[in-house]
Amino acid sequence: MIKEASSCDLKNLVAKFIPESIGKEIEKVTQSIYPLQNVYNRKVKILKAPKFDLSKLMETHGDYSEDKGVKVDRPAEEMIVEEAEVDGA
């Protein structure tokens, strides 16, 4: 587990946990000692926080500098109809 975790970044490590390739590798390595079956990673805990790198964070989450849109003005008659429905309920 330590070898796998230290050889890649967090994104790649999570990608290895999902198909449970690390559990299968543990089964293969321990086969000569004791035949294990159904090896799964139930819980993973970060013991040492990695160094914070802003460029990797932005690479992971993407660039949101583009315009997300503008607020649309609603016609006055739609607002009156909605208020009447709320009052009648």
Residue 72 phi/psi, 5° resolution?
Answer: -100, 130
**Band of pLDDT at residue 24, cut at 50, 70 and 90:** confident
**pLDDT (mean) for 48-71:** 70
Question: What predicted TM-score, i.e. pTM, was given to this entire model?
Answer: 0.44
CA-to-CA distance for 41 and 14, rounded, in angstroms?
11
CA-to-CA distance for 36 and 82, rounded, in angstroms?
64
**pLDDT (mean) for 42-67:** 72
The answer, yes or no, to whether residue 89 has pLDDT greater than 70, is no
Which residue pairs, CB below 8 angstroms and at least 24 apart, start in 22-29? 26/1
**Band of pLDDT at residue 3, cut at 50, 70 and 90:** confident
The answer, yes or no, to whether residue 37 has pLDDT greater than 80, is yes
pLDDT at 47: 78
What does the mean pLDDT of the chain come to?
Answer: 75
pLDDT at 2: 77
